[in-house]
Structure 1
Amino acid sequence: MSITPPGDIRPNLEASIGRRDPKKAAMSGWIGSALEYYDFALYSLAAALIFPAIFFPSENPTVAIIASLATYAVGYVSRPVGAIVLGAYGDRHGRKHVLIFAMLLMGFATFAVGLLPTYGQVGILAPVLLVILRLIQGFAVAGELGGASAMIVEHSPDARRGFFASFSLQGTQVGSILATGVLLPLAALLPKDQFETWGWRIPFLLSAFVILAGYIIRRRVQEPPAYLAQAETGKAKRRFPLIDLLRTHPWVLVRCVIMTFTNVIGMATLIFGVSYATQKGYGIGYSSSEFLWVTLVANLTAVVTIPMFGALSDRIGRRTLMVAGGIGGGLLAGGYLWAIDQRSLVLVFVCVVIVQGIFFQMWNATFATFFQEQFPMRIRVTGFAVSQNVGLMIASFFPSIFTAVAPPGSTNVPVVIGLITLGICLAAALATLLSSDTKGKSLEDLEAPKAGSQPLTSEHA
């Protein structure tokens, strides 16, 4: 007769497999991520299209653009703090609770942005308040994808984790589409002075509905049975998750941070690329409404490709798609900027579909599952949230660096920015290749120590 070691969670995990609900978990993650990233994407678009003029007026267009994009980056500065606090909350008290709190906080901050006075009305107080609200946004969003994807992974069958977890990523794209879809008609139909005076505020004020919808949706989400089984043992509450993470999985954490730099593709195309195309200082001459359409097409393509690549990762592995997508997107990012430089809107649409809608989504559709699989359940939300958000904090400064390296009036902007983007993507691909591919492994197997982590002692447990 076999004897189960004290505290062993496998019998509980096995007993709970029949109570998993991956479809409901995926739908909850999809809807919640869509609502929360609607808020976050609004600020990203406004920072490139609107805020340089109304919050950071300057006779030097380079200074205004850098200042506005820096506030975009500020939201990422607070994300590591949010990752530590909200990640610990999700690991110790449940995925459901952290998702509700993050949603409500994000909705409040975004609604408040829509009420802010401009620089012309209150002077320096306006950008100060904007920065504070952006910090709150960053803190809140840090717990969203980590909690949502952990919930989906722990609900999903082992052979289909990539497919189901991809829906939380698809939700982030839908949120961006909603944000773009609200801004697009306003930017296209309103005179420029009205759009910059009050039109831009409407999408932010609509976040009041996010607060209500988020609470209704998230309070109905059920905790994963596997998490509940482990929580009953008391293991998840004995050590602060960040300390546990740093002691047991330090190199896994470092690799995931470097892998997150693949987001430079989006920074080069949909953040810096928008400024490059629309800001007067660069002299390209595209309108804001034209590039809202470009962003919309990129996100629509991603909605289609993300679940396809998520399902494909269950068949061929996560690493293959992440490496191919990262290197391919990094290689062609300069081509996308070149298309902008050629002033051919048709070519811009083609390039953004290839770079952002296909190659980057190979990485984006699979990284959440891959990261979640690198960490054991007791620190899964923290491990994911800290690695992703530290990486994004660093990557968020890339658009400002791009503007500083290739300011208005520079020559060969596509070549310079394209080479920098490719170099960063190659470093991220190397970190991916040094990590183990865990597709198809059971939740029990994912609890075992990995290369780059330290074996757990009884004290650590």
Structure 2
Amino acid sequence: MAETPQMKSPRRAAVASWIGSALEYYDFAVYGTAAAIVLNHIFFPEDAPAAAVLKSMAVIGVAYVVRPLGAMLVGPLGDRFGRKFVMMLTLFLMGGATFAIGCLPTFDSAGLLAPGLLVLCRMLQGLSAAGEQASAISMSLEHAQDHQRGFITSWTLQGTQFGSLLATAIFIPFAALPEEQLYSWGWRVPFWLSAFVVVAAWLIRRRLHEPPSFTKRDAASRTPLRAVLAGHKVMVARIAVCAMVNTVNMVFTTFALSYATHAGIERTTMLWVPVASNLLGLLAIPLFAVLSDRVGRKPVFITGALASSLTMLPYLHAVHEQQIVWVFVWGVIMHGGFYSMANGIWPAFYAEMFPAPVRVTGLALGTQIGFAASGGLAPAAATYFAGPELESWLGPSLFTVAMCLLVVGAAVTARETARTPLSAIDERP
């Protein structure tokens, strides 16, 4: 039977959300990897190694800092013109910016113009990401059956795991190149390969239709940003704090790589750690999401946030001591296991805090403020707490724990929504 616009398509929505998130986090992860081992040399040459690393980490933060602005600009488009509209718009904006990074001149050939253009591309990535994820999560949530909302929305974050895994795996052979080839052309290829993901995502997303919750929404609600700021400020603030659980991910995927290579661990060896952890995450995320459909969002999310931050201590200690086996063991447990508990649950947990007419706007604004605070701050702060010679593992670890204690405090105050029908959530003012 042919599908009508009023029918739910959970599988198609999950796949469309998955591939868009895979592109988004491929782009972010490939930059994070490149920033840690290459870009600090070719865009920010400095005598002090920590200074160059700090600058390249700060450019990672630029993409996060502009994300709240992107949420205010792109989020309301998802509530006014449709989730699919934003998902297609951001697909090409993100892919185009990533491809352009691979074409940029270096500092040696263009001077200050090179880092300036790099910052511009990162800003475009941040603006795109602000609306992409919120629209994809809302699309999958509203297409899902009530008893599977956690599971269906988790595929958006499973896509982020795959994108991160793909970016790191692709970078491994290029990182093994002699430095002359890596710095001249090798680092560019992973950025160019994002074009293939864009094409695949477009082919899948063009066949997706809007969910019933959007088509049946209150047509009079034409100012979603104003509605969110007037009636949902507490939810936005709560999500913003909860979203700082991203600190664990940023310290693990970005700071730890720079820290490890400075400590003497081969960069190709360290690149295999997120590969291993993301392989576990691909399995763990949907399983923990199913668990949240049965026992609730809050207990799974809180356990994951707290446990992942605490295991950052033995992980960075193992990196500092160059204990390669324990680096893999603790990295996989922390990121692939415990962090996946929080990472796979938050799409449903956050999105269920808003009714359909303002869901994309509220979700985008809350998450992007939190991501800006954690993603923009975490790599640079962890580098700062590691000391001028990147000698301390305890400072960055305790910083991660402190951030996640704030996350747990905010999550405790949230309403449990796992067993509340979406129709009842959408009826709330």
- Alignment TM-score, normalising by the size of structure 1: 0.90
2:13 aligns with 25
State the Cα deviation string for residues 233-259 of structure 1 (Å, max 9, x = none).
41332x2x1211111011111111000
Q: Secondary structure at the match of 1:84?
A: helix
2:43 aligns with 55
Aligned counterparts of 2:251 and 2:100: Cα–Cα separation in 1: 28
Written as runs of structure 1 = structure 2, the 5 A alignment for 1:252-263 is 252-263=235-246
User: Which range is displaced more, 386-395 or 16-25?
Assistant: 16-25
Aligned partner (choices 282, 287, 296) of residue 266 of structure 2: 287
Aligned partner (choices 340, 349, 356) of residue 377 of structure 1: 356
180 and 220 in structure 1: CA distance in 2 versus 1, 3 angstrom threshold: same
Q: How far 1:292 moved relative to its partner?
A: 1.1
1:236 aligns with 221
Unaligned ranges ≥5, structure 1: 1-15, 450-455, 457-461
Any conservation in 2 of the 1:329–1:356 contact (CA below 8 Å)? Answer: yes
2:416 aligns with 437
Unaligned ranges ≥5, structure 2: none
Any conservation in 2 of the 1:56–1:64 contact (CA below 8 Å)? Answer: yes
Any conservation in 2 of the 1:180–1:296 contact (CA below 8 Å)? Answer: yes
Aligned counterparts of 2:257 and 2:329: Cα–Cα separation in 1: 16
Any conservation in 2 of the 1:174–1:303 contact (CA below 8 Å)? Answer: yes
Aligned counterparts of 2:5 and 2:68: Cα–Cα separation in 1: 33
Any conservation in 2 of the 1:32–1:217 contact (CA below 8 Å)? Answer: no
State the Cα deviation string for residues 162-186 of structure 1 (Å, max 9, x = none).
0111011001111111111211112
Q: Secondary structure at the match of 2:322?
A: coil
Aligned partner (choices 82, 98, 108) of residue 86 of structure 2: 98
2:31 aligns with 43
TM superposition outliers: structure 1 runs of 4+ over 6 Å: none
Aligned partner (choices 214, 228, 236) of residue 201 of structure 2: 214
Written as runs of structure 1 = structure 2, the 5 A alignment for 1:74-153 is 74-153=62-141
Any conservation in 2 of the 1:78–1:138 contact (CA below 8 Å)? Answer: yes
Number of residue pairs the alignment of both structures matches = 425
2:389 is aligned with 1:409: yes
State the Cα deviation string for residues 18-41 of structure 1 (Å, max 9, x = none).
821111111111122112321221
Aligned counterparts of 2:238 and 2:270: Cα–Cα separation in 1: 34
2:231 aligns with 248
State the Cα deviation string for residues 326-359 of structure 1 (Å, max 9, x = none).
1111111111100101211111000011110111
Any conservation in 2 of the 1:160–1:440 contact (CA below 8 Å)? Answer: no
Aligned counterparts of 1:410 and 1:79: Cα–Cα separation in 2: 29
User: Which range is displaced more, 416-425 or 204-213?
Assistant: 204-213
Aligned partner (choices 303, 308, 331) of residue 329 of structure 1: 308
Aligned counterparts of 2:31 and 2:121: Cα–Cα separation in 1: 10
Q: Secondary structure at the match of 2:221?
A: helix
- State the Cα RMSD in Å: 1.5
Any conservation in 2 of the 1:307–1:365 contact (CA below 8 Å)? Answer: yes
Aligned counterparts of 2:89 and 2:342: Cα–Cα separation in 1: 28
Aligned counterparts of 2:195 and 2:143: Cα–Cα separation in 1: 30
Written as runs of structure 1 = structure 2, the 5 A alignment for 1:347-426 is 347-396=326-375, 397-409=377-389, 411=391, 413-426=392-405
